[in-house]
């Protein structure tokens, strides 16, 4: 950088810099501006992608919430039926459950024996 003293012989438009020094700074400014522009563009596209992903995740969470609500309703209805069933004959229910468990045990034993 070469400074020219503004005095009687210097023009008022030179601001104390020679043309070559000013153009170096101007080129550096342009290069940095372009670099900044590229980084801002990358950040913008990344933020748009993040926004799209957030919208998709919110939609999926909303669908899951609806599924859990319907499953909760189904579970509540099943529990109501189970309570109604448990109020009936205990011995008959116990006999059916024991027979079912015995049947499952023999089926599993038979499958293991065939291997």
pLDDT tens digits along 57-72: 999 999 999 998 988 8
34 in a structural domain: yes
pTM: 0.46
Average of pLDDT values for 31-37?
Answer: 95
98 in a structural domain: no
114 in a structural domain: no
Nearest to 74 by CA among 63, 84, 62, 66: 66
What is the spatial distance between Cα 67 and Cα 112, in angstroms, rounded to a whole number? 38
Domain enclosing residue 36, as ranges = 21-88
Q: Indicate the pLDDT class of residue 33, thresholds 50, 70 and 90.
A: very high
The pLDDT of residue 18: 52
Q: Count CA within 13 A, CB hemisphere, residue 83.
A: 6
77 in a structural domain: yes
4 in a structural domain: no
The pLDDT of residue 92: 77
Instruction: Domain count for the chain, please give it.
Output: 1
The 3-class secondary structure across the chain, one letter per residue, is: CCECCCCCCCCCCCCCECHHHHHHHHHHHHHHHHHHHHHHHHHHHHHHHHHHHHHHHHHHHHHHHHHHHHHHHHHHHHHHHHHHHHCCCHHHHHHHHHHHHHHHHHHHHHHHHHC
What is the spatial distance between Cα 46 and Cα 54, in angstroms, rounded to a whole number? 12
62 in a structural domain: yes
97 in a structural domain: no
pLDDT 10s digits, 66-113: 998 988 888 888 888 878 776 766 777 788 889 999 999 999 999 998
100 in a structural domain: no
pLDDT at 14 over 80: no
């Amino acid at each position: 950088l070469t400074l020219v003293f503004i005095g009687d012989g210097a023009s008022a438009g030179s601001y104390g810099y020679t043309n070559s020094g000013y153009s170096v700074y101007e080129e550096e400014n342009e290069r940095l501006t372009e670099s900044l522009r590229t980084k801002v563009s990358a950040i913008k596209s990344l933020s748009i992608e993040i926004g799209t992903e957030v919208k998709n995740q919110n939609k999926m969470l909303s669908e899951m919430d609806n599924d859990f609500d319907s499953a909760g309703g189904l579970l509540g209805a099943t529990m109501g039926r189970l309570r109604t069933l448990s109020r009936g004959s205990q011995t008959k229910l116990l006999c059916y459950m024991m027979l079912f468990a015995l049947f499952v045990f023999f089926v599993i034993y038979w499958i293991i024996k065939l291997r």
